[in-house]
Structures are given as structure tokens and as C-alpha cells.
A and B are shown apart, each in its own frame.
Chain A
Amino acid sequence: MNMNRRQFFKVCSAGLSGSSIALMGFSPTAAQAEVRTFKLARATETRNICPYCSVSCGVLIYSTGDKSKNTPAEIIHIEGDPDNPVNRGTLCPKGAGLRDMVQSANRLKWPEVREAGSNEWKKISWMEAFDRIAKHMKADRDANFMAQNKDGVTVNRWTSTALLASSAAPNEAGYLTVKMARALGMTSIDTQARI
């Protein structure tokens, strides 16, 4: 094992597996087999929060690369954040499966449309999606917007398009959603949080 003193201490500090080498009588120069380096040591660590229940456990996400441009990161491991005062590094069986959620085979990758009466999805561009959806929304809003109620009170509402909002979205997305929806005059709004 080619290892100088400094490297040896580095391995030892990684934990039991390192120190047990010394216990077994290996010295830095005498050891023949190299200890596999800890994979996560080369990964980028990002602090995040488990999206499942409302304990909101802190998680550490490990990804390849250093987040520089043109080096897309791949998430290779997710574990509990030991600094978080609530979960203190633990995760439950739901949270322990987080990586499989990120990498689920059912992740959506591009915009699609299912035309009226069709039995299949068709891939479309974001441009086409935004354009077609905005046209639907405008047509419905223009046809059904109520400026005044039957008593002549100004009400400025649009009830015929509904919005159901996610409760797994961050506060900032929620805020932008409500700001936009109210500016459009929407009142048929509800959230997953109710149920």
C-alpha cells in the first residue's frame, strides 16, 4: 500500500474502517491493499429539505460535478442533515427513497398534449404549449369574465377556469401563483393543503 503518513491519517479520520487497519497491525507503508476512497468525498453537497411530510427534514444531496456551467450535476445520494435541529440526520422510509423519486422512470421530460378524443400523447415545444394554453385561457376569460354582479357591484372575477395549487411547491412559487391568479381575476382556487 503506497501511502504516506498524511494520507494514512486522512483515511483513519474517515472512521472505523480506517482505524481498524491500524488495529490489525498495518503500518502506512506495509499495507498492501488500498482502502477504497469515500465516494461522497468527491461529490458536491447541497442542503435541501425532504418534500414529503411537514416535519420538513433537512437533507444533504450529493451530486457529481462542482455545479460549474456545462457540467450537469447528477444526484447520486441523499441523506439526512445532521445539523437540522428537528430530524438530526434521520430520515424515515419515505425520505430514504428520495433519490428514486428524483430519478423516477415516470419523470416528465418535455411538454405534451393529448388532443380532444385522442388516445395518445404528442410531444410539443414549450413555445407551442404556452401559446395554445394562453389562447385557451384568454378565450375563456374574455367570454366569462364578470365585471359586475347582477346588483351592479364591481366584482371583476373569472370563475370558469379553476386552479389547484401544489403544497409541495416552495413559498416563492406559491406566492407568484397567487399573485398571478388574483391579477387574472381568478376565484376558483384551491390547494392540496385542504385535503
Chain B
Amino acid sequence: MTNHWVDIKNADLIFVMGGNPAEAHPCGFKWAIEAKKNRKAKLVVVDPRFNRTASVADFYAPVRPGSDIAFLGGVINYLLTNDKIHHDYVKAYTNASFLINEGFTFDDGIFAGYNEEKRSYDKATWSYQMGADGFVKVDETLQDPRCAFQMLKAHYARYTPDVVQQVCGTPKEAFLKVCEYIAETAAPNKTMTNLYALGWTEHSVGSQNIRCMAIIQLLLGNMGMAGGGINALRGHANVQGITDFALYAQNLPGYLAAPTDAEPDLKTFLDKKTPKLLRPGQMNFGQNLSKWYVSLHKTWWGDAAHKDNGFAYDFMPKLSGASDVLSIFDQMYQGKINGFLCQGFNPLASVANKKKVGDALAKLKYMVVMDPLATDTSEFWKPHGEFNDVKPEEIKTEVFRLPATLFAETTGSFTNSGRVIQWRWKAADGPGDAKDDTEILANLFLKLKEMYAKDGGAYSEPIQKLTWAYRIPTKPSPEELMMEFNGKALADVLDPKDPTKVLVKAGEQLPSFAMLRDDGSTTCGNWIYCGVWSQAGNLSARRDNSDPSGLGQTLNWGFAWPVNRRILYNRASADLSGKPWDPKRTVLKWLGDKWGGNDIPDMRPDAAPDQNVMPFIMTGEGVGRLFSLGLMAEGPFPEHYEPFESPLDANPMHPKNPKARANPAARVYKGDMEAFGTAKDFPYVATTYRLTEHFHYWTKQSKINAIMQPEQFVEIGEELAKEKGIAVGDKVKIRSNRGFIKGVAVVTKRIKALDVDGKKVHTIGIPIHYGFKGATKPGFITNTLTPFVGDANTQTPEYKAFLVNIEKA
């Protein structure tokens, strides 16, 4: 979230698309209801199903799964055609006036530089025109046909209300009504908040769905405002924290790019990854990369990381190629992975194409499951009737299952989707011999370290030299770990403006990342968390919920990253002169000598407005991007592509170009393309969803939740039910090209057939929560059906739009 949960109450319009917070995030959704009650805010929902969020909305519009970009592109076109944009904001705070490389083109669904064989782009022309002064050329009048504003206008001119109706199946009148609601928030003192979740991310074009909304919010001037922003509702309680700590390959903690083979030494790495200043006078905060990166190495390898060895740059593994969950399972499937550590994760149930995942696990030599519960994954080798039809004698994988504690049995912090880090305390011991994850990992690591010290083996220096100064080495405490990743001064940190002044004394905990240095004198295990445990103690444990601003900022409750800032880009909540666009919801204002207000400034605190330092401080331009340069895999402007399994034979936006049917830059592995089904055999669109009584594949283990929703069901519309002769309560079989599941039919008015491109399209809704382990009735795993293809940028699988057939079981 750029904003936070309570801030939703400050919105004038709550636009929900790609999420269903009334059921999936009920306690956060109360803030949408507060906005409706107290501010007379409107709630608009766009979704394939008339879900419970829609049932309390002021307006609902249906949409075909996988056609969101066509809808949102239509909104962009509406705003530009009807001049419903926040002009001052767009001109000053976005790259609207920036001139785009003359070589950049878009031709029948394909951008410049496409390589069909590699399914990827050479992005050289997806760039700005540079002036002789080394900065980007701009046209302040926004008239130049090559400026980002005019290019945006031209790109989305094709997304007319008629095209939206044709592609999305949304009636034109309903689409226009949604546009009218959204357009109202172009007024400088009106804001729209956008709430989305997996309904946007779980598509082969997931990231571009969100990019569309980023463009819309920039055009409306809603970024940085109270009640504005782009708000990902997100999954587990610490999904934000685990992402921040980079438990994935491409990044290191704090979203630092992980070094690759192309950066053989520290200097090359920093030169390549440090963003360049693109407009004069901007903060370009990313230029501090060297301080964050060197401090991370100092934290992990202490004295073994010093100037002469590039701060132990060689100790950090260099990433080669993709390493996301789909690629990991594909490599496992090909026999290239021998071991698998599975921590609190149930991939057999939660990753696409269960058959492929199960076959991949069967090729492992060893697997280690660390979990509080007996998961489906841990028993992938065990026959469970038709739900898991396997032969154990043929599966040679050695499986270890280690009992871990869960939330109530550990102390430590969670970060919510509003980036607020909150400390939690242990209430009881785990059952039996269960141990904390930290204790399990520490024991394993120390065992390996001992074996390497005794017997030698492959490159063990980074293992032997890893800092491990925990009071009980086998049980690093959460307090020790948080103090460690917050970071401290190894030598006195001096004020660069006045070196006689000591800012932080040697040995002290650091108060903020502004104190980090790249000379090896500071440590910090995650720069964005710096300040959470300063000399003032553990700020994540603060429990003062007072809210003097009335905006719900509660600045003394927990600690939000970065530097306790609650609303990102908050400088943009004020005009160029520093006056809030809406004084009633002041987030930040210029006080004459510094920035102040109701939040921590997202701006250099003494940057006077006449210095023209723009609000998007992490970018080299200082402004928000309507044109996203080479940052996205499939293009600088989002374009509609069909899901990989679509009921349509061609992309209605590009009917004559088969290359532009589905995302041209999405990665498809050998065998997975062949496993896609076609509308001839699988005529119905399926979309997976979540129930309010269940959380993923977890609550099926809890008795009370199992009683509330005991069994797999499948939701179909009345018209389809009639066509297929299916009645409420009938057992049905749903097949995709990858397998089948069975469930009980629930026939509702909530999913209606849509008229898409001259064809009637039925959608089937499939809840995900069931499996063969748990307190619920043993059942099939929904992801037996889903395709093994992901978003071209994030590789998040396409769970929300694929093809199936349905029959009475």
C-alpha cells in the first residue's frame, strides 16, 4: 500500500477492482464503510462476480476475467478525452512533458524491439530523448507529439467505450457510469483510493493491470493524498515483511537488486545499479545504493568485509536467470534440483498445475518441510484416493517433516500491508517438540558450519565468516535479530556538513538510513527498516494509538517503513508552492523553513518549494511515470492481451496479429504451452477465488472454519446451470487440459454470462481452499486445473482466468 488501512476512511471514492475486501479483508474493509458513512464516499466495484463487496457498493459493473487492461485503458481514454485530469499535478509531478525516444514504436500490439523467438524485447528505444545538458528534454506545453502525455493519449485513443464493451463484456452504460465516478476525483480536493488484491496480480498481465491504475491515479492527482494511492491489500499477515526482506532471488533486503554474473565486482555493480539523475535538482534518492549495500555486507560478514575485498562482494552469490517459484518447479521437474527446503509453504496446493508440481517433488533426493501443520505438500508421496493418486514405492524422495511453532508461540514483528511494523508477543509454547523457525535454521546452519570446518568442502568462507554473535547461538532471539537488521554505528558517524559534529556514536543503534555510510563504518541488514530499533528502543512495540490529525495516521503506533512515514509520496499532497491541495486533509505543507504536517515528509525536510524538488524522490526524474521506460517486460504502456487460455480465438484489439494474442513477453516453458486448452474443448472461463471463512490452504486445518465451509463447491450462473442441466447441490466435475476436480454445484445470480466480441461467455467461480489434509472434507486441490504460466514481470501464475469444461459427476 502507498497509504494504509485506516486512511481508506479519508477517500471520496473507493474503487475496488481485482479484490474483494468485504470477504477477504473484512476488518480492513470497515474503513471503506466508515468513508461511506462519515464522508458520504462512494464505493464502486468492478468484478466478474457480484461479490459481497459489490453487494454494499453504490455501483457495480461486471467484467470478463482477464480483460482488466481493456477496461482501465478505457478509463484512461475517458479521462483524457473528456479532460478530466488534474492539470497542475500532471504537468509538474509526472513525466507528461518528457520527450520519448524517436525510435520507440507500437505496431498492431507489439512495441519496438520484439524478439519472437526469445519472447522478449530489446528495450533500447523505450527511453527518453536526452538533451545536450545531460538531462531529459521536455515540452512544458505538452503539445509535442513525442511527449509522454501525447503518446499516452494516442495509445489509449483506441480504447473507446464500444471497444471496452466488446472486449470486457461490460455494458457500455455501466462502463461510462464507472468513468463518471472516477472522473469526479480529478478535482484537486477529491481523492479516489484504489483497493486491489490477487484479482489483478494473478494474470499473465498482472503487473500491467496495476500500472494502468498508477497512470490513472497520476492523471487524477491522487498519489500522495490522504484517501488516495494504490493499495495492494495483500495476503498473509507478514507477506509485506517477507517481501521487504527479499526471501526471493532477484532482490536483497530492502529491494536492492541482487548482483548477477554481469557485475563481476562491487564497482561495476554499483555503477550499473545506481540510478542516474535525469532532471536537474532532483533528489534521486537511489543514488545512496552504495551505503545500503555496503552496510548489508558489513552486517553479514563483519570484519571479513572490508574495502580491500570490495566488502566481501564475492561472498554474495551471483544470480543467473530466473529463480521464481514457477522456474524452480520447472527446474525440479527437469531433474535439475535435488534438494528442497519448504518453510511454511504448501506448494502442492498453492502452485499452478498440481500434477507437474507433484511430479517435480518426486524427482527430488531430499525435501525438508518446516511447518506447524501436516500439509498436503509434506504428503505428496502418500496415496489419498483420487485426490492424490500416487504410488509411494515409485517415489524415492526422502522427506523430513519438522514441527514449527506458529504465530501465538513466537515473539517478533509482522509488517502489515500498510507497511506498519508491529511487535507481537509469545503466549504459549508450541506442542510437543515444536521449535521456532529461527531455532531450526540456526541448528541446521551451525551443523553445516561445523561439518565444513571439520571436513572442508566447497567454498566455505562466507559460511565460516557469517556474523553469528547471538547469546545462545542455536536460538537467536527476535530482539537480537531486529537490532541487527536495524543496524548500528561501528565508528562515530559524522555530519557531512560539519565533520566536528558526531551524529551517532560508535556502538549506538542507528535512528535512520540517512546515517548509513559506504566506508564500512555502519551496519544495516535492511535499509528501509533502519530506525525501527534505534537508541530509543523497539519502536515497533509502541502502542500509543492517539490520532491528533484525525486522519488515522497514529504516528506513535508501531513503526512504518520508511522512517515511520505513513503515506508515500506525500509531498505530492501539496501544490508546487507547498500548500495542500485539500487543506482539510493536510498530510504535508511547507512551513516557511521546513516541511511539516501530519506525516514524515517524503522530501528533503529543508527543500524549499522554489528549489523545484519533485515528489517522487526515488526516481532519477523526481516525477511519477506515465511512460514506464524499460521497467516492465511487455511495454512502457499497458496493452490488452488475452489470457493464455481465452474463450476468444484472437485478441479483439489485434485480430490479425497472432503474436499479440496473449502477453508476447510472458515466459512459457516447454510442455506448458502444449498443456494449454482451447475453447473448443474447454468452453468456459474459470476464475479462482477465496471464501470469507477460509484463508488459503491453512484454515482447512481448523475445526470451526471447517464446520463453517466444509466442502469444495463450484459457483455457476443460472443460465449455464440450465443449459447443462445442473441443479443446486449436484456433484459436478470440472476439467481443464491439466486435470479435473469435483465439487458441489452452487447455482447463483452472482455470475452472469457476458456478451464478449459477439460470443456468449460463461464464467465459473472456483474457491481454492480444499485438499486432502485437514479438518474439512477431503477433496481435490483446485490448482490441479490452473495453467503453469505467470505474469511476465513477477511470474505470479494466471489463476484468475483459464478454461474449463463442466459436467455432472
Contact = CB atoms under 8 A, between A and B. Distances in A.
13 contacts: A48-B408, A85-B547, A86-B6, A100-B704, A104-B775, A116-B395, A117-B395, A133-B368, A134-B451, A168-B698, A169-B238, A173-B410, A192-B236
Nearest to B371: A108
B447 A169 contact: no
Interface stretch (B160-168, B399-407, B632-640, B678-686): B399-407
Contacts of B233: 53-55
A171 to B, nearest CB: 4
A86 B424 contact: no
A176 interface: yes
B452 interface: yes
B6 A172 contact: no
B264 A153 contact: yes
Contacts of A126: 433, 435, 443
Interface in A87-128: 87-88, 90-98, 100-102, 104-119, 121, 126
Given A48-B408, A114-B401, A164-B325, A94 B705 contact: yes
Interface residues of A, number: 118
A158 B417 CA distance: 32
B313 to A, nearest CB: 9
B462 A171 contact: no
B578 interface: no
What range describes how many residues of B lie at the interface? 35 or more
B398 A114 contact: yes
Interface in B319-351: 319-320, 323-325, 328, 331-332, 336-345, 347, 350-351
B336 A157 contact: no
Contacts of B340: 161-164
B773 interface: yes
A177 interface: yes
Contacts of B411: 170
Interface of A: 44, 46-58, 61, 63, 72-75, 78, 80, 83-88, 90-98, 100-102, 104-119, 121, 126, 129-138, 140-142, 144-145, 147, 149, 151, 153-180, 182-195
Nearest to B525: A175
A182 B406 contact: no
Interface stretch (B475-483, B493-501, B610-618): B475-483
Contacts of B443: 126, 130
B429 interface: yes
Contacts of A56: 237-238, 414-417, 420, 422
B702 A104 contact: yes
A168 B457 contact: no
Contacts of A192: 235-236, 239, 242, 344-345, 350
A157 B338 contact: no
A57 to B, nearest CB: 5
Contacts of A55: 5, 25, 27-28, 233, 237, 416-417
Contacts, number: 496
Contact of A113 (B24, B315, B396, B398): B398
Nearest to A117: B393
A108 B797 contact: no
Nearest to B366: A136
Given A55-B28, A187-B317, A191-B248, A109 B434 contact: yes
B427 A46 contact: yes
B413 to A, nearest CB: 5
A193 B247 contact: yes
A99 to B, nearest CB: 8
A147 B481 CA distance: 30
B350 A195 contact: yes
Contacts of A180: 441, 444-445, 466
Contacts of A130: 443-444, 447
Contact of A53 (B451, B482, B695): B695
Given A49-B414, A63-B428, A94-B705, A114 B237 contact: no
A160 B332 CA distance: 9
Contacts of A54: 25, 233-237, 239-240, 416-417
A73 B408 CA distance: 11
B392 A118 contact: yes
Most chain A beta carbons < 10 A, residue from B239, B413, B441, B545: B239
A113 B799 CA distance: 33
B317 A155 contact: yes
A172 B412 contact: yes
Given A141-B458, A165-B343, A173-B437, A156 B27 contact: no
A178 to B, nearest CB: 6
B30 interface: yes
